[in-house]
Amino acid sequence: MTTMTLRIGGFSTRLPTRLVLVNAVLVILLVAFAGQSLLAGTYPTSLADLQNALSGRADKITSMILLDHRLPRILTAIGVGLAFGLAGETIQTLLKNPLASPDIIGFSAGAGTGAVLTVVLLGTGTFVFLGAMLGGLTVAALILALSWKRGIAPGQLVLMGIGISLTVSVINDLLMTRFDVTEAAQIAKWLVGSLEARHWQDVSILWLGLACLGPLAFWFQFKLSRLALGDETATVLGVAVDPARMATLLLAIGLVALAVSVAGPLPFVAFVSGPIAHGLTRQPRPTLLCAALVGALVTLLADTASQSLPGGLTLPAGIFTALIGAPVLLWCLIVESRKRRG
């Protein structure tokens, strides 16, 4: 396996060629699909239309569809995918368990309860996102506090998280039986996660958050990859284990909070990005950038698929994240086990 070495002034890094290639291909795919998703659709447009729209020379409808409808939606999809991918890879590496994902720190279930309760208490769906954010953060904080014992113990955190998430999701199920069926359908749509009707406001919140948290995540990748060697080895290598673990966890929670509050839970993106990235790059985890790109690609594809159903049917993107992610994960599993046994 060949590698590339990069040294510029005080900056130096070593990159396996395969990792660079995989990431490059993912970026190209992402741009291609984003472009396709921007221009194609029930109202087809051309590259020239886009140029005109950007410079303000296009007609009103074209400009509205491209700039106010499709572009924010695509940018939201990519941003949410990046955030989920980063968070998923971080948490799975940190807890050393492929079953761990942000669902495990209770965020998705908590966000669900928050959302449903907002609708119950306020009688309107306007503040669903706020409720989701609050619910998610509350449950995540509860799990962190309960599993705290002179530091974060990963095993305890995972068990605690699964337990509390299960309880909270049963509360969600119970609440669902309290509505009439029409309201229940509305809430269900949100619980699945959707990217419909996103505005520039959502885009700016999301990308502003990403601009703050993303670089921090990559900064902590250095410590995270040492934590993957085990607590003892990490300590020997001079990494303060407890603070590093706490910081990366909080970072992951922040990323998930950001993504969930903009798009709903979008099941499976965070869970699947890391294993797919690992399967593609064949690098020891964490491979944050690759996982983030995979997350973005899965979300974008899911959103495109959710809009191109036959017969004018629309389903939320959250349905398709799992429909796309699961087969890819299974394919990775099969390839990996062939390699290992062959």
Question: In the window 300-319, what residues touch another protein (CB under 8 A)?
Answer: 313, 315-316, 318-319
Show contacts with another protein in window 45-104 (CB under 8 A): 95-99
Residue 234 C-beta: closest distance to another protein, Å: 8
Residue 39 C-beta: closest distance to another protein, Å: 27
**Residues 6+ away with beta carbon under 8 Å from 217:** 86, 90, 248, 251, 252, 255, 288
> Buried (b) or exposed (e) across 124-162, using 16+ Cβ within 10 A?
ebeebbebbbbbbbbbbebbbeebeeeebbbeebbebbb
Rounded to 10 deg, the angle between the 269-281 and 71-95 helix axes is: 70
Structure tokens at 291: 């996982």
Show contacts with another protein in window 149-178 (CB under 8 A): 149, 153-156, 158-160, 162-164, 166-171, 173-174, 176-177
Is 148 strand, coil or helix? strand
Show contacts with another protein in window 5-44 (CB under 8 A): 5-7, 10-14
Structure tokens at 317: 């993107």
Is 33 strand, coil or helix? helix
Residue 187 C-beta: closest distance to another protein, Å: 10
Q: By rule CB under 8 A, what string of x and - marks binding of each residue 106-145 to another protein?
A: ----------------------------------------
Q: Is residue 106 classed exposed, middle or buried when 0-12, 13-18 and 19+ CB atoms within 10 A define those classes?
A: buried
Show contacts with another protein in window 194-233 (CB under 8 A): 218-222, 225-226, 228-230, 232-233
State which of residues 121, 122, 327, 335 lies at the interface with another protein (CB under 8 A). Answer: 327
CA–CA gap between residue 26 and residue 47 (Å, rounded): 22
Number of shown-chain residues binding another protein (CB under 8 A)? 90
Residue 155 C-beta: closest distance to another protein, Å: 4
Name the segment binding another protein (CB under 8 A); options: 54-62, 179-187, 202-210, 293-301: 179-187
Rounded to 10 deg, the angle between the 107-122 and 241-263 helix axes is: 40
Residue 200 C-beta: closest distance to another protein, Å: 27
Show contacts with another protein in window 251-290 (CB under 8 A): 267-268, 271-272, 275, 278, 282-285
Structure tokens at 147: 């599993």
